[in-house]
Amino acid sequence: MGGHGYESGRLNLPFVGIPTFAKSPYIADWSQIEADAAILGAPFDMGTQFRPGARFGPRAVRDASTLFSFGHAGAYDHEDDATYLGPEVRIVDLGDADIIHTDTEKSHANIESGVRAILQAGALPVVIGGDHSVNIPCIRAFDEVCASGGPIHVLQIDAHLDFVDERHGVRHGHGNPMRRAAERDYVTGLTQLGIRNVSSTAKEGYESARAMGSDILSVRQVRALGREGVLARIPTGARLYITIDIDGFCPSIAPGTGTPSHGGFLYYEVLEILQGVAFAHEIVGIDLVEVAPDYDPSGSTQILAAQLLLNFLGFVFHARAHRATKIRL
Amino acid sequence: MGGHGYESGRLNLPFVGIPTFAKSPYIADWSQIEADAAILGAPFDMGTQFRPGARFGPRAVRDASTLFSFGHAGAYDHEDDATYLGPEVRIVDLGDADIIHTDTEKSHANIESGVRAILQAGALPVVIGGDHSVNIPCIRAFDEVCASGGPIHVLQIDAHLDFVDERHGVRHGHGNPMRRAAERDYVTGLTQLGIRNVSSTAKEGYESARAMGSDILSVRQVRALGREGVLARIPTGARLYITIDIDGFCPSIAPGTGTPSHGGFLYYEVLEILQGVAFAHEIVGIDLVEVAPDYDPSGSTQILAAQLLLNFLGFVFHARAHRATKIRL
Amino acid sequence: MGGHGYESGRLNLPFVGIPTFAKSPYIADWSQIEADAAILGAPFDMGTQFRPGARFGPRAVRDASTLFSFGHAGAYDHEDDATYLGPEVRIVDLGDADIIHTDTEKSHANIESGVRAILQAGALPVVIGGDHSVNIPCIRAFDEVCASGGPIHVLQIDAHLDFVDERHGVRHGHGNPMRRAAERDYVTGLTQLGIRNVSSTAKEGYESARAMGSDILSVRQVRALGREGVLARIPTGARLYITIDIDGFCPSIAPGTGTPSHGGFLYYEVLEILQGVAFAHEIVGIDLVEVAPDYDPSGSTQILAAQLLLNFLGFVFHARAHRATKIRL
Amino acid sequence: MGGHGYESGRLNLPFVGIPTFAKSPYIADWSQIEADAAILGAPFDMGTQFRPGARFGPRAVRDASTLFSFGHAGAYDHEDDATYLGPEVRIVDLGDADIIHTDTEKSHANIESGVRAILQAGALPVVIGGDHSVNIPCIRAFDEVCASGGPIHVLQIDAHLDFVDERHGVRHGHGNPMRRAAERDYVTGLTQLGIRNVSSTAKEGYESARAMGSDILSVRQVRALGREGVLARIPTGARLYITIDIDGFCPSIAPGTGTPSHGGFLYYEVLEILQGVAFAHEIVGIDLVEVAPDYDPSGSTQILAAQLLLNFLGFVFHARAHRATKIRL
Amino acid sequence: MGGHGYESGRLNLPFVGIPTFAKSPYIADWSQIEADAAILGAPFDMGTQFRPGARFGPRAVRDASTLFSFGHAGAYDHEDDATYLGPEVRIVDLGDADIIHTDTEKSHANIESGVRAILQAGALPVVIGGDHSVNIPCIRAFDEVCASGGPIHVLQIDAHLDFVDERHGVRHGHGNPMRRAAERDYVTGLTQLGIRNVSSTAKEGYESARAMGSDILSVRQVRALGREGVLARIPTGARLYITIDIDGFCPSIAPGTGTPSHGGFLYYEVLEILQGVAFAHEIVGIDLVEVAPDYDPSGSTQILAAQLLLNFLGFVFHARAHRATKIRL
Amino acid sequence: MGGHGYESGRLNLPFVGIPTFAKSPYIADWSQIEADAAILGAPFDMGTQFRPGARFGPRAVRDASTLFSFGHAGAYDHEDDATYLGPEVRIVDLGDADIIHTDTEKSHANIESGVRAILQAGALPVVIGGDHSVNIPCIRAFDEVCASGGPIHVLQIDAHLDFVDERHGVRHGHGNPMRRAAERDYVTGLTQLGIRNVSSTAKEGYESARAMGSDILSVRQVRALGREGVLARIPTGARLYITIDIDGFCPSIAPGTGTPSHGGFLYYEVLEILQGVAFAHEIVGIDLVEVAPDYDPSGSTQILAAQLLLNFLGFVFHARAHRATKIRL
């Protein structure tokens, strides 16, 4: 479903062809992953507390990703004077984890299996949700690689703290994942950016989060610190897992989500932080969640998600290739 | 939130006021229900297999119901030369059953409690879903009243048979409710109207349904039989529970639903059957499910649901009042 | 804005050009109307009782009318083997009556002035609403032509009777026009088709209407009578004013309106009645109201309005041209 | 409809329950208001000059407010380290003022009555429009409380000056309210923020406004002054009435309005000014107008309105409680 | 991307997985087609004369087709008591023909190549448009198979005749395909169903069509003839190519198209004709065109297209398997 | 269609009347243009590579322009204390260039003819697209006026470089216009602002552009330079042609376009640059392209386009009138 360039037979315009992520090859057999990065859809939204629909996030983000798949031999960025995601970077699309309606536990288990398969293949897992609860099985899947490779730090972009321990018996909804992550012994801490306004986490949640190693910054606090100030607060050398809730962004560019919150990040604010961590840290996993496309008829939200993921992946693999060299950020 | 007429202080146009169902009084204390019919929202949609969003069904149907609440002393129908739902019919709105995200069992239990409260108060339960799985706790709540008052027959309007026993462990999703109903010893049988096209029920499901007492008719079969022919197939004297999946209707008038299926019923086809059963049978319970308003920006789907429910309630209480008299249908 | 054919310089596809009605010439000076039919927009919607937005009806119907303006020398209909609206029929577009927000009386007066100007020019007035209250000034404008040319009968296509006399002081809202018309001494009576379901008119309104000369038929009653049966009930030889509320149609094809009501007419049911009256009666005026385009993102509603008006105008002028001849309907 | 917390029986997720404002109790009897703040809907939009639909503003803002009603004992804000709107703040919802279609005067009178009732009960009136003309009866209702309590100053957030005196006889449309306010002897002046671009007010309007005591600042001028600079221009000690036209905001976050104007305020720009005045001034009344939800299918506009109102109310009552203490803004 | 059943590892709900048509396997190498039917997308819409957007038809129909892909071993239809499209029917998805913007000729040539590849593989070509001009290369591709296997007859479902020869030099737009088909010596004639109302074809076009072998029937004429009457007019034994313009259907169920025309077919009217021809004729090719999904936010149009295609394919292969047996239609 | 003021007969609210651009007079005879600026629609979108629909750009921008046409004698801007576009500025609307579907060359030729007619009349051409390929015929039309009046410099606002020479034979799609412009000997160079992210132009395109005289700046680079810094890079005294691709703006305010790209300009960033060049340069032509209204149900995008064009035109003619005077920018 991809790989053709202008010189080969097809022009392959964005609206043409089966919409796998960035028109990358689809791999049905998860025991045969040979790639640098593997996309896994996690279309689960039973953990939502307001508007559902994130189950269509994977399809929407894949569709939108084709806009950025013009068939070049990589994507040239004139600001960085760099060509990202050239043919040397192998991206594959695994399709989606199997979801069992009414059954959170089984659905999460299937997501976990997918991430484990990617990690075992040595590829970077890139999970597209689904609601933020899909982060729970993603983090769970890291136990083995962390046992051998060392612990991880979680960098979260989000409007909400998502640090509820348990309420009415719920421990695996989209208000709980960061608490679940913090409980893992191979998670050394969290950097939580964009947190603002009233949410499902009460004061006790903030106190618990800080007690368990969280650094919590609002959008305004991030702006006051500046990109370098924020980057400096992430532990040096930490291996990073990045979890991006699209509602961390301003509803002006990400209205297609379940629980929008005004006052969020603009595009470059997040992109530049991601570019920073891509060059300064090893990125071990990524998830992007809460795109609910039916609330955004303009399609801007999924275009944001796809544009962000493709640029971030470009930074990650560019940095890996040039790790030894001093790089202009 | 209602009850005012033109002669009293307010004109009370449809777009004015808090949208309880038909602007009926809201009853927060479910131990204090004094009414002929009580509306209960069941905003649960974790049982869906395609598009979610039926959790917003109760709010959408309530909103739409205000269009038919002009503040008259009842609703005059010139075709029947009858005034329905005059001040002698007491309708109340109980709000919604509490929903616990990620937890089907607890959510269903809360719905069941609400229906039990209505039945204990001697009112007619009218449940607005939510997906079709909410029918499961509704039917469960009838065990006691059936123990004393006798069994019930279920009349279903639907595109899908919803008769899956179990698949991947799922027994309480929106493909299972009619099977669950048929298993109850106080359910004598089902009349399933509108069933068409491929769905989540395989051939075995149809065979099981028939074996367990179902009469299954497609839209075309209903049309071929005619209204009287269909009415004649419902067991005489049966006490009826009515479950209406909005996708039983044609997507032309009900696009706002999770799993639309072309070839469905038009408005009067269903209305006239409901008018028929209202006059020929005791109606013991009603649910209307699968209105997912965000898929219908025109609002037609919820207007259909509200128009249908209000007319049906009019027929039910008109018939109760005139049961002894011969009535022109 | 029109008049070009294939042989002249322009292909003039529907999406090209300024959207006057059917791309007809715009006449800014209402004292210089030389035409067989003149279109007047009446973008007034302060008379609505639920969803507003009919003020954008004129623009939407004009836009949609361009779909049927392929630049032919008339529109060939293969079913009738007739070419309608050839170059011999002169249609002009007068733009809109001036609307004064917050002021119903002045706005109505401006609409009335426009219709008077058309009538004085001897053209057929075709008014596009706006809500149904704009019918009030339209009918008022007929006093002089009726004084000389004789009275008129009103044929209404509508879901609602619109026969409220006065409520809370309101006499010129969209629930009042048919009562206002019936009060005119030059209106001999009304034929009201499509009336159904509960509406803003109570039982007394129906009784008053019948007492003042109305023949009221529901959609089902129209279907039972058949087209010929309905046509036979309209007084022979009556000069007809036609008022079409788009909500007379089924919401499946006309969701873009303020107060949709399920169970309405389908396209050919109305078209064939209009074709019938066009051949059997003199048509003296037309209004089409209650298109509220923002509730129908598909645009079907305004396409229906434009398709209906253009076909009806074709019938009217075809019949005028062949009045002496026996015509196949 | 509210008040439950996690420890009580219900989880009460945002999508569950009757949507009164913030799920506060509904008070049908306006002579029995016991509250700190009372919400009144004013669903009147006959004063609009472009897109109508603000009549659905009250319902939309109430719906959106449920997103911020997670059932906590107040809303914790980690940036302020404060818990706002705890159980000590009593908010009630009065439903809507009665609207009479076609009749601006009566509709405005009903709104005025509602605000008078709130003021007589000693509660803070919070009116949700409706178009900006609803500010006229709101201000009118303050004559008595100002007679006893002293005059007020009006702080307006808006794209448009709304200072037209009279045009074509219109004095109570949505282009007139600030002129009407300035005419009141108990209004000492206006601070008009966000005014930009061409609007319905001509040059003479600006001159009149300044002559009658207005301080007019554009978005860019507000930015140049900074929050403190703006706050300093509001008369020290003035009792403030706040009127927020949602079109004061950028269409990126508030597209759902009748007359959008690009170049508007972003979220925090307004929030921080409101936080400032809440701590420095007595707030005597609030209205938020011109939310026309049908133009924003994403729902962002009404979420903005609800988020802003709830935060502002939090600041107002927090400041009242701590008026004597020095507070970190 | 498909083939799993309930007993294998995955539940594979409709919203899960890469949306190839009916989740069938994607075949990138068109020289390796081993299938009974092959889906080819033809996302070309430069031939449209009103609303574009049919280029997203293939993706939309594929997405919608997943709703009917519940992972059963075939689709059971209780009305026919038949299981369609069991594992013995091999369907593959070839992705899309390459489209060259601004270049109609090259784009059409690429579509033609795809159809030729399918025909050479002995599979049934099923082309999803794109606008109706894509039928031109489809028919062109049949020259060789017709040279050996005999001529074909074209059965068209459409609102428009599409029989314009040339206008302003345009010969390959969406108003020309049936004329182009009729010119082919291996096309023996056309049956054109659903043709109605004014369109881009003038009277001369109808005359030419009839002269070149067309049988033209309007929707009302089809209804008057009945299904059997229509089927009887198709030449006995003719090998049929089916071209379905979605605007042949009523806008109530197919609003998502470029040039909607009211008065179209309902679902079963077309389905039953297709079922009839599937059993009575050899079906050699299918195209379904003019689905422009962005005009139908409800998704009904693409669901109609997918439901129709899947049912029709079921009939075709069921009939092939049972050709020798007398079948109940 | 315009020109009336408050003192004349009509209030002429924005929603009233035929939507020519700013309700300016429509001129059907292009040999009779007497105006300072002439609007030409170029509804061509066959050059698009992702979402089409820009063919409805001209109608949408004209509709939106009526919001800013309150009938004043010019538009007063309180920030500039200036009245723009008073009656001394004559704007006319020429309607649209004729578009020939499937034929890029002829369609472009018709656009070119329209621009030539405007230039011959001595008016400022203002072309509303359509996709960005319509810039190609616009620039072509300047050969004669440049031969006499001297060369031009092109100022582009855009997300994409649009500098592809040829690919698969395509030379006149929406990815090619700036290359085509640069090839003209009467184009001295380009200033390309807003260029960002991956697009259809590869690295070679950037190199070619710079070699052919382009100054390329991203959004962030423009912000870093500041308005004055950017203005200083445009050659002093250059006669400017301005081409504005609406996707140069942030999708938050311009989602209604074919290929949105996050990280774009906000309103004042572009407005202030345009105000700067209006005062410092002679503006010889303007096009605004890629508004695809059906992707923005809120209408914000076309409102942005109209607001920008009207303000820019105000600046241009204000500067022309006061060229000799020192002006506050």
Is A132 annotated for ligand binding?
yes
Whether pLDDT at E1 is above 90: no
Q: Categorize the per-residue pLDDT at D229 as very low, low, confident or very high, splitting at 50, 70 and 90.
A: very high
DSSP codes of every residue in F5-29 = -TTSS----TTSS---GGGPPB---
Structure tokens at B51: 């598009």
Task: Please name the fold of domain A21-321.
Answer: Arginase; Chain A (3.40.800)
Nearest CA in chain B to D93: B18
- State the pLDDT confidence band at F324, using cuts at 50, 70 and 90: very low
Residue A229 pLDDT more than 80? yes
Cis ω for the linkage preceding D114 (within 30 of 0): no
For residue range F272-295, list pLDDT tens digits in order: 999 999 999 999 999 999 999 999
Q: Please, which pLDDT band fits residue F199 given cuts at 50, 70 and 90?
A: low
DSSP per residue over B278-301, as a string? HHHS-EEEEEEE---GGG-TT-HH
**Closest CB from C13, C83, C307 relative to E203:** C83
Over range B224-250, report the average pLDDT: 98
Confidence (pLDDT) at C202:
84
Q: How far is C90 from chain B (nearest CA, A)?
A: 36
Q: Which phi and psi (to 5°) does residue D217 adopt?
A: -130, 135
CA distance B286 to chain C (A): 20
Sole residue written with tokens 């609003």: E255
Residue A287 φ/ψ region, left for φ over 0, alpha for ψ in the -120 to 50 degree band, beta for the rest: beta
What pLDDT, on a 0 to 100 scale, did the predictor assign at position E70?
58
Residues of chain A contacting residue B101, judged by C-beta atoms under 8 Å apart = 46-49, 170, 173-174
Question: Does E197 touch chain C if contact means CB atoms closer than 8 Å?
Answer: yes
| F55 reaches C (C-beta below 8 A) | yes
Q: Smallest Cα–Cα separation from B261: which of B177, B163, B161, B179?
A: B161
d(CA C97, CA C114): 6
CB F76 within 8 A of CB D202: yes
Distance to chain D for F157, nearest Cα, Å: 17
Tell me what pLDDT residue D199 has: 64
Contact D151, D186 (CB under 8 A): yes
Q: Is D294 annotated as a binding residue?
A: no
Q: Are B316 and B284 in contact (CB under 8 A)?
A: no
Beta strands in chain B (DSSP E): 37-42, 75-77, 82-84, 91-96, 124-129, 152-157, 187-193, 214-217, 240-245, 283-289
User: According to the model, what pLDDT value does residue C199 have?
Assistant: 65
Give the neighbours of chain C: at least 3 Cβ pairs within 8 Å.
B, D, E, F
Q: What are the structural domain ranges in chain F? A: 21-321
Is B311 within 8 Å of C197 (Cβ atoms)? yes
Q: How far does the CA of residue D135 sit from the closest CA of chain A (Å)? A: 25
pLDDT at B197 over 90: no
| Distance of alpha carbon C178 from alpha carbon E209, whole angstroms | 48
The rounded distance, in Å, linking the Cα atoms of F165 and A164 is 56
**pLDDT at residue B222, rounded to an integer:** 98
Residue E272 has pLDDT above 60, yes or no: yes
Q: Provide the strand spans (E) within D97-173.
A: 124-129, 152-157
Q: Does F95 touch chain C (CB under 8 A)?
A: yes
Residue of F168, F198, F261 with shortest CB distance to A75: F198
- Residue F58 reports pLDDT greater than 70: yes
Q: Give percent of chain D above pLDDT 90.
A: 90
In chain E, residues 279-298 whose CB comes closer than 8 Å to chain F: 294-295
Q: CB pairs below 8 Å between A and F: how many?
A: 85
pLDDT for D239 beyond 90: yes
**What's the pLDDT at A197?**
83
CB contact under 8 A, C79 and E51: no
pLDDT above 60 (res D327)? no
The Cα–Cα gap between F179 and F181 comes to 5
Of A220, A265, A225, A221, nearest in space to A245 by CA: A265
Neighbouring subunits of A (3+ Cβ pairs under 8 A): B, D, E, F
pLDDT (0 to 100) of residue E153:
98
ipTM of the complex: 0.96
d(CA A116, CA A119): 5
pLDDT level of residue B202 (50, 70, 90 thresholds): confident
In this structure, the number of other CB atoms found within 10 A of the CB of residue D32 comes to 10
- Please determine, for residue F329, whether its predicted confidence score (pLDDT) is greater than 50: no
Per-residue pLDDT of chain C (329 residues; tens, 9 = 90+): 333 344 457 999 999 999 999 999 999 999 999 999 999 999 999 999 999 999 999 999 999 999 987 565 688 999 999 999 999 999 999 999 999 999 999 999 999 999 999 999 999 999 999 999 999 999 999 999 999 999 999 999 999 999 999 999 999 999 999 999 999 999 999 999 999 987 667 889 999 999 999 999 999 999 999 999 999 999 999 999 999 999 999 999 999 999 999 999 999 999 999 999 999 999 999 999 999 999 999 999 999 999 999 999 999 999 999 874 554 44
How confident is the model at residue A71, as a pLDDT? Answer: 61
The CA-to-CA distance between both ends of chain A, in Å, stands at 32
Tell me the pLDDT of chain D averaged across its residues: 94
Q: How many angstroms from the chain centroid is the CA of residue D311?
A: 12
Which of A16, A63, A100 is facing E43, going by the closest CB pair?
Answer: A16
Number of residue pairs across B and D with CB atoms under 8 Å?
72
Q: Do E198 and C303 touch (CB under 8 A)?
A: no
Dihedral (CA of C220, C221, C225, C228) sign: negative
- What is the C-alpha end-to-end distance of chain C, expressed in Å? 32
**Residue of A45, A201, A219, A252 for testing the chain D interface, max D β-carbons within 10 Å:** A252
Residue B144's closest CA among B171, B125, B165, B164? B125
Contact C206 B67 (CB under 8 A): no
Of A14, A84, A250, the CB nearest to F49: A14
How many Cα atoms are found within 13 Å in the side-chain-facing hemisphere of C183? Answer: 12
Share of chain E above pLDDT 70, in %: 94
Q: Which two tokens stand for residue C219?
A: 């959609």
Q: So what's the pLDDT on residue F327?
A: 45
Q: What is the chain B residue with the closest CA to C161?
A: B78
Shortest Cα–Cα distance, C62 to chain F (Å): 9
What was the pLDDT predicted at A199?
A: 64
Average pLDDT over residues A122-127: 98
Q: How many CA atoms are closer than 13 Å to the CA of B6, on its beta-carbon side? A: 14
Q: Residue A307: its pLDDT value, please?
A: 97
Contacts of D252 in chain F (CB under 8 A): 250, 252-253, 300
E173 and chain F in contact, CB less than 8 A: yes
Q: How far apart are CA D127 and CA D118, in angstroms?
A: 10
CA of F252, closest CA in chain D: separation in Å? 5
Is D186 an interface residue toward F (CB < 8 Å)? no
Q: Does E70 touch chain B (CB under 8 A)?
A: yes
Q: What are phi and psi of D302, to 5 degrees?
A: -70, -30
CB contact under 8 A, F78 and D206: yes
Tell me, what's the pLDDT at D9? 78
Among F161, F195, F255, beta carbon nearest to A300: F255
E161, E202, E261 member nearest C72 (Cβ) = E202
Contact D5, D59 (CB under 8 A): no
β-sheet bridge partners, residue C285: C241
C28 touches chain F (CB under 8 A): yes
- Tell me the three-class secondary structure of chain E, residue by residue: CCCCCCCCCCCCCCCCCCCCHHHCCECCCCCCCCCCEEEEEECCCCCCCCCCCHHHHHHHHHHHHHHHCCCCCCEEECCCCEEECCCCCCEEEEEECCCCCCCHHHHHHHHHHHHHHHHHCCCEEEEEECCHHHHHHHHHCCHHHHHHHCCEEEEEECCCCCCCCCECCECCCCCCHHHHHHHCCCEEEEEEECCCCCCCCCHHHHHHHHHCCEEEECHHHHHHHHHHHHHHHCCCCCCEEEEEEHHHECCCCCCCCCCCCCCCECHHHHHHHHHHHHHHCCEEEEEEECCCHHHCCCCHHHHHHHHHHHHHHHHHHHHHHCCCCCCCC
Report, in angstroms and rounded to the nearest whole number, the Rg of chain F calculated over CA atoms: 18
CATH 3.40.50.2300 fits C21-320, yes or no: no
Predicted confidence (pLDDT) per residue in F61-83, tens digit: 999 999 987 565 688 999 999 99
- Summarised one tens digit per residue, pLDDT across range F110-133 is 999 999 999 999 999 999 999 999
pLDDT tens by residue, B107-160: 999 999 999 999 999 999 999 999 999 999 999 999 999 999 999 999 999 999
Structure tokens at B135: 């029918």
Mean pLDDT of chain C: 94
User: Which of A11, A300, A310 is opposite residue F251, by nearest beta carbon?
Assistant: A300
Please, are residues D56 and D129 in contact by the beta-carbon 8 Å criterion? no
3-state secondary structure of F255: coil
Q: Does the annotation place F143 within a ligand binding site?
A: no
Question: What pLDDT sits at residue E5?
Answer: 44
Cα(E321)–Cα(E308) distance, integer angstroms: 20
pLDDT of the residue at E202: 84
Q: In chain D, which residues have their Cβ closer than 8 Å to the Cβ of C103?
A: 104, 168-170
Task: Identify how many contiguous H helices and E strands chain A contains and give both numbers.
Answer: 9, 10
Cis peptide bond prior to A130, omega within 30° of 0: yes
Q: CB of B195 within 8 A of CB of B216?
A: yes
